[in-house]
Protein backbone atom coordinates (compact mmCIF):
# COMPACT_ATOMS: atom_id res chain seq x y z
CA UNK A 1 0.00 0.00 0.00
CA UNK A 2 1.04 3.56 -0.54
CA UNK A 3 1.73 5.61 2.55
CA UNK A 4 -0.98 7.86 3.89
CA UNK A 5 0.91 11.03 2.92
CA UNK A 6 1.41 9.75 -0.63
CA UNK A 7 -2.29 8.98 -0.99
CA UNK A 8 -3.26 12.41 0.36
CA UNK A 9 -0.84 14.11 -2.06
CA UNK A 10 -2.18 12.06 -4.97
CA UNK A 11 -5.73 12.92 -3.98
CA UNK A 12 -4.95 16.65 -3.92
CA UNK A 13 -3.44 16.42 -7.41
CA UNK A 14 -6.42 14.40 -8.56
CA UNK A 15 -8.88 17.03 -7.31
CA UNK A 16 -7.19 19.70 -9.39
CA UNK A 17 -7.12 17.38 -12.42
CA UNK A 18 -10.74 16.33 -11.90
CA UNK A 19 -11.87 19.94 -11.56
CA UNK A 20 -10.18 20.78 -14.84
CA UNK A 21 -11.78 17.83 -16.64
CA UNK A 22 -15.20 18.46 -15.12
CA UNK A 23 -15.22 21.87 -16.76
CA UNK A 24 -14.86 20.16 -20.12
CA UNK A 25 -16.22 16.61 -20.04
CA UNK A 26 -17.10 14.24 -17.19
CA UNK A 27 -14.42 11.52 -17.10
CA UNK A 28 -15.32 7.91 -17.65
CA UNK A 29 -14.11 5.07 -15.47
CA UNK A 30 -11.72 3.75 -18.13
CA UNK A 31 -9.76 6.98 -18.18
CA UNK A 32 -8.79 6.49 -14.54
CA UNK A 33 -8.45 2.71 -14.44
CA UNK A 34 -4.98 2.74 -12.93
CA UNK A 35 -5.00 5.62 -10.45
CA UNK A 36 -8.40 6.93 -9.46
CA UNK A 37 -10.46 4.33 -7.56
CA UNK A 38 -8.02 3.55 -4.74
CA UNK A 39 -7.10 7.18 -4.17
CA UNK A 40 -10.75 8.17 -4.21
CA UNK A 41 -11.83 5.40 -1.83
CA UNK A 42 -8.91 6.10 0.49
CA UNK A 43 -10.06 9.70 0.79
CA UNK A 44 -13.75 8.75 1.15
CA UNK A 45 -12.89 6.45 4.04
CA UNK A 46 -10.67 9.05 5.66
CA UNK A 47 -13.36 11.71 5.24
CA UNK A 48 -16.04 9.48 6.79
CA UNK A 49 -13.71 8.54 9.65
CA UNK A 50 -12.52 12.07 10.36
CA UNK A 51 -16.07 13.38 10.64
CA UNK A 52 -17.12 10.48 12.84
CA UNK A 53 -14.13 11.24 15.06
CA UNK A 54 -14.89 14.96 15.16
CA UNK A 55 -18.62 14.80 15.88
CA UNK A 56 -19.42 11.34 17.28
CA UNK A 57 -16.26 9.76 18.68
CA UNK A 58 -17.12 6.75 20.82
CA UNK A 59 -20.79 6.77 19.81
CA UNK A 60 -22.10 4.05 17.56
CA UNK A 61 -22.72 6.08 14.41
CA UNK A 62 -22.46 9.63 13.10
CA UNK A 63 -25.44 11.89 12.39
CA UNK A 64 -23.77 14.24 9.91
CA UNK A 65 -26.55 16.83 9.56
CA UNK A 66 -27.02 17.35 13.28
CA UNK A 67 -23.30 16.81 13.93
CA UNK A 68 -23.69 14.38 16.79
CA UNK A 69 -23.71 10.68 17.52
CA UNK A 70 -26.36 7.98 17.37
CA UNK A 71 -26.39 5.14 19.88
CA UNK A 72 -29.83 3.55 19.63
CA UNK A 73 -30.73 0.33 21.40
CA UNK A 74 -29.49 -2.24 18.92
CA UNK A 75 -26.23 -2.96 20.76
CA UNK A 76 -27.50 -3.11 24.34
CA UNK A 77 -25.20 -0.41 25.68
CA UNK A 78 -22.13 -1.33 23.66
CA UNK A 79 -20.57 1.73 22.11
CA UNK A 80 -18.16 2.49 19.28
CA UNK A 81 -19.84 0.35 16.61
CA UNK A 82 -18.30 2.47 13.84
CA UNK A 83 -14.86 2.05 15.39
CA UNK A 84 -15.02 -1.74 15.66
CA UNK A 85 -16.69 -2.05 12.25
CA UNK A 86 -13.93 0.08 10.67
CA UNK A 87 -10.85 -1.63 12.11
CA UNK A 88 -10.15 -3.96 9.20
CA UNK A 89 -11.10 -1.41 6.53
CA UNK A 90 -8.66 1.12 7.97
CA UNK A 91 -5.96 -1.53 8.15
CA UNK A 92 -6.54 -2.86 4.63
CA UNK A 93 -6.55 0.63 3.11
CA UNK A 94 -3.33 1.58 4.85
CA UNK A 95 -4.85 4.28 7.05
CA UNK A 96 -2.29 3.60 9.74
CA UNK A 97 -2.86 6.55 12.06
CA UNK A 98 -6.61 6.03 12.05
CA UNK A 99 -6.20 2.31 12.67
CA UNK A 100 -4.02 3.07 15.71
CA UNK A 101 -6.68 5.46 17.04
CA UNK A 102 -9.29 2.74 16.64
CA UNK A 103 -7.11 0.11 18.30
CA UNK A 104 -6.38 2.37 21.28
CA UNK A 105 -10.08 3.10 21.72
CA UNK A 106 -10.88 -0.62 21.73
CA UNK A 107 -8.15 -1.28 24.29
CA UNK A 108 -9.05 1.57 26.63
CA UNK A 109 -12.73 2.32 26.10
CA UNK A 110 -14.61 -0.69 24.73
CA UNK A 111 -16.60 -1.72 27.79
CA UNK A 112 -18.21 -5.13 27.40
CA UNK A 113 -19.75 -5.17 30.89
CA UNK A 114 -23.01 -3.54 29.89
CA UNK A 115 -26.46 -4.66 30.99
CA UNK A 116 -28.75 -3.79 28.13
CA UNK A 117 -30.53 -6.14 25.78
CA UNK A 118 -28.73 -6.31 22.46
CA UNK A 119 -29.44 -7.84 19.07
CA UNK A 120 -27.53 -11.12 19.04
CA UNK A 121 -27.24 -10.88 15.26
CA UNK A 122 -25.95 -7.30 15.10
CA UNK A 123 -23.47 -7.72 17.94
CA UNK A 124 -22.18 -10.92 16.36
CA UNK A 125 -21.67 -9.65 12.82
CA UNK A 126 -20.31 -6.20 13.75
CA UNK A 127 -18.48 -6.58 17.06
CA UNK A 128 -17.51 -10.26 17.10
CA UNK A 129 -16.81 -10.28 13.36
CA UNK A 130 -14.93 -6.98 13.49
CA UNK A 131 -12.73 -8.01 16.41
CA UNK A 132 -12.01 -11.45 14.96
CA UNK A 133 -11.02 -9.95 11.63
CA UNK A 134 -8.81 -7.32 13.26
CA UNK A 135 -7.06 -10.03 15.26
CA UNK A 136 -6.43 -12.29 12.28
CA UNK A 137 -5.16 -9.42 10.13
CA UNK A 138 -2.89 -7.85 12.74
CA UNK A 139 -2.18 -10.45 15.43
CA UNK A 140 -2.86 -7.84 18.14
CA UNK A 141 -3.79 -9.68 21.34
CA UNK A 142 -6.16 -6.95 22.52
CA UNK A 143 -8.65 -7.93 19.84
CA UNK A 144 -8.49 -11.58 20.87
CA UNK A 145 -9.05 -10.74 24.54
CA UNK A 146 -12.04 -8.55 23.76
CA UNK A 147 -13.71 -10.96 21.37
CA UNK A 148 -13.33 -13.92 23.74
CA UNK A 149 -14.94 -11.91 26.55
CA UNK A 150 -17.76 -10.78 24.28
CA UNK A 151 -18.36 -14.27 22.95
CA UNK A 152 -18.98 -15.58 26.48
CA UNK A 153 -21.55 -12.83 27.00
CA UNK A 154 -23.60 -14.05 24.05
CA UNK A 155 -24.07 -17.63 25.24
CA UNK A 156 -27.16 -16.99 27.44
CA UNK A 157 -29.15 -16.30 24.26
CA UNK A 158 -29.13 -20.06 23.64
CA UNK A 159 -30.93 -20.89 26.87
CA UNK A 160 -34.15 -22.02 25.21
CA UNK A 161 -35.88 -25.43 25.13
CA UNK A 162 -34.67 -26.04 21.58
CA UNK A 163 -31.30 -24.30 21.67
CA UNK A 164 -32.51 -21.96 18.94
CA UNK A 165 -31.33 -18.62 20.34
CA UNK A 166 -33.43 -15.61 21.14
CA UNK A 167 -32.96 -12.63 18.89
CA UNK A 168 -31.86 -10.48 21.83
CA UNK A 169 -29.45 -11.19 24.64
CA UNK A 170 -28.67 -9.49 27.95
CA UNK A 171 -24.96 -8.83 27.69
CA UNK A 172 -24.54 -8.87 31.47
CA UNK A 173 -25.64 -12.51 31.49
CA UNK A 174 -28.41 -11.95 34.04
CA UNK A 175 -30.96 -13.65 31.82
CA UNK A 176 -31.19 -15.16 28.39
CA UNK A 177 -32.89 -12.03 27.14
CA UNK A 178 -35.80 -11.99 24.79
CA UNK A 179 -39.46 -12.84 24.95
CA UNK A 180 -40.31 -16.53 24.95
CA UNK A 181 -43.31 -15.75 22.78
CA UNK A 182 -41.25 -13.96 20.15
CA UNK A 183 -40.15 -15.73 17.00
CA UNK A 184 -36.49 -16.19 16.19
CA UNK A 185 -35.55 -14.98 12.72
CA UNK A 186 -33.82 -17.27 10.21
CA UNK A 187 -31.29 -14.65 9.11
CA UNK A 188 -30.39 -13.96 12.75
CA UNK A 189 -29.95 -17.41 14.29
CA UNK A 190 -28.63 -18.66 10.94
CA UNK A 191 -25.86 -16.05 10.82
CA UNK A 192 -23.67 -17.14 13.71
CA UNK A 193 -21.78 -20.11 12.31
CA UNK A 194 -18.64 -18.46 10.93
CA UNK A 195 -17.91 -16.37 14.00
CA UNK A 196 -18.77 -19.07 16.54
CA UNK A 197 -16.55 -21.66 14.88
CA UNK A 198 -13.70 -19.16 15.11
CA UNK A 199 -14.49 -18.50 18.77
CA UNK A 200 -14.06 -22.23 19.43
CA UNK A 201 -10.78 -22.18 17.51
CA UNK A 202 -9.45 -19.24 19.52
CA UNK A 203 -10.54 -20.52 22.93
CA UNK A 204 -10.16 -24.29 22.39
CA UNK A 205 -13.68 -24.47 23.84
CA UNK A 206 -16.10 -26.47 21.69
CA UNK A 207 -19.19 -24.85 23.21
CA UNK A 208 -19.51 -22.22 20.47
CA UNK A 209 -19.35 -24.74 17.66
CA UNK A 210 -21.76 -27.00 19.54
CA UNK A 211 -24.30 -24.19 19.78
CA UNK A 212 -24.34 -23.50 16.04
CA UNK A 213 -24.20 -27.17 15.10
CA UNK A 214 -27.31 -27.72 17.21
CA UNK A 215 -29.10 -25.06 15.15
CA UNK A 216 -28.13 -26.86 11.96
CA UNK A 217 -29.22 -30.23 13.37
CA UNK A 218 -32.60 -28.83 14.33
CA UNK A 219 -33.18 -27.28 10.91
CA UNK A 220 -32.34 -30.54 9.18
CA UNK A 221 -35.05 -32.30 11.20
CA UNK A 222 -37.80 -29.91 10.14
CA UNK A 223 -40.11 -30.29 7.17
CA UNK A 224 -39.63 -27.49 4.69
CA UNK A 225 -42.44 -26.32 2.41
CA UNK A 226 -41.28 -27.08 -1.15
CA UNK A 227 -37.76 -27.32 0.23
CA UNK A 228 -37.85 -23.66 1.33
CA UNK A 229 -36.85 -22.22 4.71
CA UNK A 230 -39.49 -19.91 6.23
CA UNK A 231 -38.16 -16.80 7.93
CA UNK A 232 -39.47 -17.31 11.47
CA UNK A 233 -39.09 -20.15 13.98
CA UNK A 234 -40.49 -20.51 17.49
CA UNK A 235 -37.53 -21.05 19.86
CA UNK A 236 -39.73 -22.90 22.35
CA UNK A 237 -41.67 -25.31 20.14
CA UNK A 238 -39.01 -25.45 17.45
CA UNK A 239 -41.64 -25.14 14.70
CA UNK A 240 -41.96 -22.69 11.84
CA UNK A 241 -44.17 -19.75 12.74
CA UNK A 242 -45.37 -18.91 9.23
CA UNK A 243 -44.51 -19.66 5.64
CA UNK A 244 -42.97 -16.39 4.51
CA UNK A 245 -39.75 -16.96 2.54
CA UNK A 246 -37.29 -14.33 1.37
CA UNK A 247 -33.64 -14.22 0.44
CA UNK A 248 -33.76 -10.54 1.37
CA UNK A 249 -34.67 -9.19 4.80
CA UNK A 250 -35.17 -11.89 7.48
CA UNK A 251 -33.68 -14.70 5.39
CA UNK A 252 -30.65 -13.48 3.44
CA UNK A 253 -27.47 -14.27 5.36
CA UNK A 254 -28.63 -17.74 6.46
CA UNK A 255 -28.02 -18.95 2.90
CA UNK A 256 -24.78 -16.99 2.63
CA UNK A 257 -23.42 -18.67 5.77
CA UNK A 258 -24.16 -22.16 4.44
CA UNK A 259 -21.87 -21.85 1.43
CA UNK A 260 -19.31 -19.81 3.38
CA UNK A 261 -19.21 -22.40 6.16
CA UNK A 262 -18.29 -24.95 3.53
CA UNK A 263 -15.61 -22.69 2.05
CA UNK A 264 -14.19 -21.71 5.46
CA UNK A 265 -13.85 -25.37 6.41
CA UNK A 266 -11.46 -25.85 3.48
CA UNK A 267 -14.28 -27.59 1.62
CA UNK A 268 -14.79 -30.30 4.23
CA UNK A 269 -18.17 -29.30 5.73
CA UNK A 270 -20.29 -31.52 3.52
CA UNK A 271 -23.47 -30.95 5.56
CA UNK A 272 -23.33 -27.20 4.92
CA UNK A 273 -22.64 -27.87 1.24
CA UNK A 274 -25.65 -30.18 0.88
CA UNK A 275 -27.92 -27.74 2.72
CA UNK A 276 -26.80 -24.85 0.53
CA UNK A 277 -27.30 -26.55 -2.84
CA UNK A 278 -30.64 -28.03 -1.77
CA UNK A 279 -31.81 -24.57 -0.66
CA UNK A 280 -30.56 -23.01 -3.90
CA UNK A 281 -32.45 -25.60 -5.95
CA UNK A 282 -35.65 -24.81 -4.03
CA UNK A 283 -35.10 -21.09 -4.53
CA UNK A 284 -34.62 -21.58 -8.27
CA UNK A 285 -37.69 -23.80 -8.55
CA UNK A 286 -39.99 -21.52 -6.57
CA UNK A 287 -38.68 -17.96 -6.39
CA UNK A 288 -36.52 -17.12 -9.40
CA UNK A 289 -38.57 -15.31 -12.02
CA UNK A 290 -38.13 -13.53 -15.35
CA UNK A 291 -39.83 -10.16 -15.78
CA UNK A 292 -41.73 -9.20 -18.95
CA UNK A 293 -38.67 -7.14 -19.87
CA UNK A 294 -36.34 -10.11 -19.44
CA UNK A 295 -34.81 -9.30 -16.04
CA UNK A 296 -34.08 -12.22 -13.70
CA UNK A 297 -35.07 -11.60 -10.09
CA UNK A 298 -35.79 -13.51 -6.87
CA UNK A 299 -39.36 -13.00 -5.67
CA UNK A 300 -40.66 -13.48 -2.13
CA UNK A 301 -43.02 -16.32 -1.18
CA UNK A 302 -45.97 -15.90 1.17
CA UNK A 303 -47.62 -19.23 1.82
CA UNK A 304 -47.45 -20.25 -1.82
CA UNK A 305 -48.24 -16.82 -3.30
CA UNK A 306 -45.40 -14.91 -4.96
CA UNK A 307 -44.77 -11.28 -4.14
CA UNK A 308 -42.90 -9.89 -7.15
CA UNK A 309 -40.53 -7.63 -5.29
CA UNK A 310 -36.84 -7.76 -4.47
CA UNK A 311 -35.09 -5.91 -1.69
CA UNK A 312 -31.69 -4.26 -1.90
CA UNK A 313 -30.62 -6.75 0.78
CA UNK A 314 -31.34 -9.61 -1.63
CA UNK A 315 -28.80 -8.24 -4.11
CA UNK A 316 -26.02 -9.97 -2.16
CA UNK A 317 -27.26 -13.18 -3.78
CA UNK A 318 -25.51 -12.53 -7.07
CA UNK A 319 -22.15 -12.77 -5.33
CA UNK A 320 -23.24 -15.70 -3.17
CA UNK A 321 -24.44 -17.79 -6.10
CA UNK A 322 -21.28 -16.86 -7.99
CA UNK A 323 -18.86 -18.09 -5.32
CA UNK A 324 -20.93 -21.24 -4.89
CA UNK A 325 -21.02 -22.04 -8.60
CA UNK A 326 -17.61 -23.68 -8.87
CA UNK A 327 -18.22 -26.04 -5.96
CA UNK A 328 -21.47 -27.59 -7.17
CA UNK A 329 -21.87 -30.34 -9.72
CA UNK A 330 -19.99 -29.71 -13.00
CA UNK A 331 -23.20 -29.78 -15.05
CA UNK A 332 -24.73 -26.88 -13.04
CA UNK A 333 -21.61 -24.72 -12.76
CA UNK A 334 -22.12 -22.50 -15.78
CA UNK A 335 -25.85 -22.29 -15.18
CA UNK A 336 -25.29 -21.00 -11.64
CA UNK A 337 -22.64 -18.53 -12.77
CA UNK A 338 -25.08 -17.25 -15.41
CA UNK A 339 -27.79 -16.95 -12.75
CA UNK A 340 -25.40 -14.97 -10.54
CA UNK A 341 -24.57 -12.64 -13.43
CA UNK A 342 -28.24 -12.16 -14.32
CA UNK A 343 -29.24 -11.29 -10.76
CA UNK A 344 -26.33 -8.86 -10.47
CA UNK A 345 -27.41 -7.28 -13.76
CA UNK A 346 -30.95 -6.82 -12.43
CA UNK A 347 -29.64 -5.15 -9.29
CA UNK A 348 -27.53 -2.83 -11.43
CA UNK A 349 -30.67 -1.98 -13.39
CA UNK A 350 -32.37 -0.93 -10.13
CA UNK A 351 -29.57 1.64 -9.80
CA UNK A 352 -29.42 2.65 -13.47
CA UNK A 353 -33.14 3.42 -13.64
CA UNK A 354 -33.01 6.15 -10.99
CA UNK A 355 -31.94 9.79 -11.49
CA UNK A 356 -29.40 9.45 -8.68
CA UNK A 357 -27.95 6.15 -9.99
CA UNK A 358 -28.41 4.70 -6.50
CA UNK A 359 -30.85 1.86 -5.90
CA UNK A 360 -34.01 1.85 -3.78
CA UNK A 361 -34.58 -0.23 -0.67
CA UNK A 362 -37.16 -2.35 -2.52
CA UNK A 363 -37.86 -2.63 -6.25
CA UNK A 364 -40.79 -4.33 -7.91
CA UNK A 365 -41.84 -6.29 -10.96
CA UNK A 366 -45.63 -5.91 -10.92
CA UNK A 367 -48.25 -3.48 -12.20
CA UNK A 368 -45.87 -2.39 -14.94
CA UNK A 369 -42.87 -1.84 -12.68
CA UNK A 370 -39.52 -3.21 -13.86
CA UNK A 371 -36.79 -2.99 -11.22
CA UNK A 372 -38.26 0.28 -9.96
CA UNK A 373 -39.89 1.42 -6.72
CA UNK A 374 -43.34 2.89 -7.35
CA UNK A 375 -44.09 3.04 -3.60
CA UNK A 376 -42.74 6.14 -1.91
CA UNK A 377 -41.85 4.34 1.33
CA UNK A 378 -39.51 1.97 -0.54
CA UNK A 379 -37.36 4.55 -2.32
CA UNK A 380 -34.66 5.22 0.28
CA UNK A 381 -30.98 4.37 -0.06
CA UNK A 382 -29.25 4.00 3.30
CA UNK A 383 -25.65 3.49 2.10
CA UNK A 384 -26.19 -0.24 1.68
CA UNK A 385 -23.39 -2.47 0.29
CA UNK A 386 -25.12 -5.49 -1.27
CA UNK A 387 -25.03 -4.40 -4.90
CA UNK A 388 -21.35 -3.43 -4.90
CA UNK A 389 -20.66 -6.61 -2.91
CA UNK A 390 -21.92 -8.66 -5.85
CA UNK A 391 -19.90 -6.50 -8.25
CA UNK A 392 -16.76 -7.36 -6.29
CA UNK A 393 -17.41 -11.10 -6.30
CA UNK A 394 -18.41 -11.18 -9.95
CA UNK A 395 -15.28 -9.22 -10.91
CA UNK A 396 -13.09 -11.68 -9.02
CA UNK A 397 -14.84 -14.64 -10.65
CA UNK A 398 -15.03 -13.39 -14.25
CA UNK A 399 -12.82 -10.30 -14.64
CA UNK A 400 -15.55 -8.83 -16.84
CA UNK A 401 -14.72 -5.08 -16.89
CA UNK A 402 -18.38 -4.09 -16.65
CA UNK A 403 -18.35 -4.85 -12.93
CA UNK A 404 -15.64 -2.27 -12.32
CA UNK A 405 -17.48 0.18 -14.55
CA UNK A 406 -20.66 -0.36 -12.52
CA UNK A 407 -18.68 0.03 -9.30
CA UNK A 408 -17.30 3.33 -10.56
CA UNK A 409 -20.86 4.51 -11.31
CA UNK A 410 -21.89 3.69 -7.74
CA UNK A 411 -18.83 5.37 -6.26
CA UNK A 412 -19.47 8.51 -8.27
CA UNK A 413 -23.14 8.55 -7.22
CA UNK A 414 -22.17 8.20 -3.56
CA UNK A 415 -19.84 11.17 -3.84
CA UNK A 416 -22.39 13.25 -5.68
CA UNK A 417 -25.49 12.58 -3.60
CA UNK A 418 -24.46 11.17 -0.22
CA UNK A 419 -21.41 13.23 0.71
CA UNK A 420 -22.11 16.18 2.98
CA UNK A 421 -19.71 18.66 4.53
CA UNK A 422 -19.69 16.57 7.72
CA UNK A 423 -19.79 12.96 6.54
CA UNK A 424 -21.87 10.66 4.36
CA UNK A 425 -25.62 10.18 4.65
CA UNK A 426 -28.27 8.02 3.10
CA UNK A 427 -30.97 9.65 0.98
CA UNK A 428 -34.71 9.45 1.43
CA UNK A 429 -35.80 9.18 -2.23
CA UNK A 430 -33.46 7.92 -4.97
CA UNK A 431 -35.93 9.21 -7.58
CA UNK A 432 -36.08 12.71 -6.13
CA UNK A 433 -34.61 15.63 -8.02
CA UNK A 434 -34.12 17.49 -4.74
CA UNK A 435 -31.99 15.30 -2.48
CA UNK A 436 -33.09 14.87 1.14
CA UNK A 437 -30.70 13.11 3.50
CA UNK A 438 -31.58 10.74 6.34
CA UNK A 439 -28.87 12.10 8.69
CA UNK A 440 -27.11 8.80 9.36
CA UNK A 441 -23.67 7.53 8.38
CA UNK A 442 -24.23 3.83 8.93
CA UNK A 443 -21.35 1.84 10.42
CA UNK A 444 -21.76 -0.70 7.63
CA UNK A 445 -20.91 2.01 5.10
CA UNK A 446 -17.36 1.98 6.50
CA UNK A 447 -17.26 -1.77 7.14
CA UNK A 448 -18.83 -2.98 3.90
CA UNK A 449 -19.67 -0.47 1.17
CA UNK A 450 -16.28 1.23 1.02
CA UNK A 451 -14.37 -2.01 1.62
CA UNK A 452 -16.13 -3.91 -1.17
CA UNK A 453 -15.53 -1.04 -3.57
CA UNK A 454 -11.87 -0.93 -2.56
CA UNK A 455 -11.51 -4.68 -3.14
CA UNK A 456 -13.34 -4.42 -6.46
CA UNK A 457 -10.54 -2.20 -7.73
CA UNK A 458 -7.73 -4.16 -6.04
CA UNK A 459 -5.64 -7.06 -7.27
CA UNK A 460 -7.08 -10.49 -6.54
CA UNK A 461 -4.24 -11.29 -4.15
CA UNK A 462 -5.53 -8.75 -1.63
CA UNK A 463 -7.60 -11.04 0.62
CA UNK A 464 -7.85 -13.82 -2.00
CA UNK A 465 -11.15 -15.69 -1.96
CA UNK A 466 -9.40 -19.06 -1.72
CA UNK A 467 -7.99 -18.10 1.69
CA UNK A 468 -10.58 -15.76 3.20
CA UNK A 469 -14.35 -15.61 3.60
CA UNK A 470 -16.22 -12.43 4.46
CA UNK A 471 -18.84 -12.48 7.15
CA UNK A 472 -22.10 -10.73 6.36
CA UNK A 473 -20.63 -7.43 7.63
CA UNK A 474 -17.66 -7.82 5.21
CA UNK A 475 -15.20 -8.75 7.95
CA UNK A 476 -12.65 -11.18 6.43
CA UNK A 477 -12.10 -14.43 8.31
CA UNK A 478 -9.46 -16.99 7.34
CA UNK A 479 -10.16 -20.54 6.25
CA UNK A 480 -9.37 -23.22 8.80
CA UNK A 481 -5.95 -24.09 7.41
CA UNK A 482 -4.89 -20.43 7.59
CA UNK A 483 -5.84 -19.69 11.20
CA UNK A 484 -2.85 -18.46 13.18
CA UNK A 485 -2.20 -17.13 16.62
CA UNK A 486 -4.23 -19.73 18.55
Confirm whether residue 33 is marked as ligand binding: no
Longest dimension (CA), the chain: 68
Question: Structural domain of residue 169, as residue ranges?
Answer: 1-475
Q: Which of 61, 117, 122, 389 is catalytic?
A: 122
pLDDT tens profile 374-395: 999 999 999 999 999 999 999 9
Is residue 484 domain-resident? no
pLDDT band at 241 (very low <50, low <70, confident <90, very high): very high
Q: What angle do CA 188, 194, 199 make, to 5 degrees?
A: 110
Q: Which of 85, 256, 370, 386 is catalytic?
A: 386
Mean pLDDT of the chain: 92
Q: Which of 98, 117, 195, 361 is catalytic?
A: 361
| pLDDT the model gives residue 24 | 46
Distance CA 15, CA 61 (A): 28
CATH code for the domain in which residue 120 is found: 1.50.10.10
| pLDDT the model gives residue 485 | 36
CA 338 to chain centre: 23
Task: State yes or no: is 361 an active-site residue.
Answer: yes
pLDDT above 60: residue 441: yes
Count: domains in the chain: 1
Is residue 325 domain-resident? yes
Task: State yes or no: is 122 an active-site residue.
Answer: yes
Q: Which of 195, 252, 349, 389 is catalytic?
A: 252
Task: State yes or no: is 101 an active-site residue.
Answer: no
pLDDT tens profile 189-206: 999 999 999 999 999 999
pLDDT tens profile 413-435: 999 999 999 999 999 999 999 99
Is residue 251 domain-resident? yes
Is residue 480 domain-resident? no
pLDDT band at 160 (very low <50, low <70, confident <90, very high): very high
Is residue 482 domain-resident? no
Q: Mean of the pLDDT values across residues 321-344?
A: 96
Tell which residue, 274, 276, 285, has the closest CA to residue 253. 276
Tell which residue, 166, 152, 161, 252, has the closest CA to residue 202. 152
Distance CA 375, CA 292 (A): 20
pLDDT tens profile 14-69: 555 555 544 544 455 554 555 688 889 999 999 999 999 999 999 999 999 999 99
Amino acid sequence: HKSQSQCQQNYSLFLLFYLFLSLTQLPTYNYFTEILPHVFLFQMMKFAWDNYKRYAWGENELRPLSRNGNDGRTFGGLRGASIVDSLDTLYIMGLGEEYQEAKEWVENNLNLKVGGEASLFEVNIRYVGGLLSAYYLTGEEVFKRKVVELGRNLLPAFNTPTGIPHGVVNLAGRSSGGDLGRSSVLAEFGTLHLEFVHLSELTSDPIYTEKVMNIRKHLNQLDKPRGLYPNALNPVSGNWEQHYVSIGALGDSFYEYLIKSYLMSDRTDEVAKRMYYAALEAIENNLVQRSPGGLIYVAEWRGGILDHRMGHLACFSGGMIGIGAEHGSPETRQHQLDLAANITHTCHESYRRTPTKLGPEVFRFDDGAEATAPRVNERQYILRPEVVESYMYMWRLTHDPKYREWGWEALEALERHCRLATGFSGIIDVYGHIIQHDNLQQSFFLAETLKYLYLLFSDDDLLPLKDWVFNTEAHPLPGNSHITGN
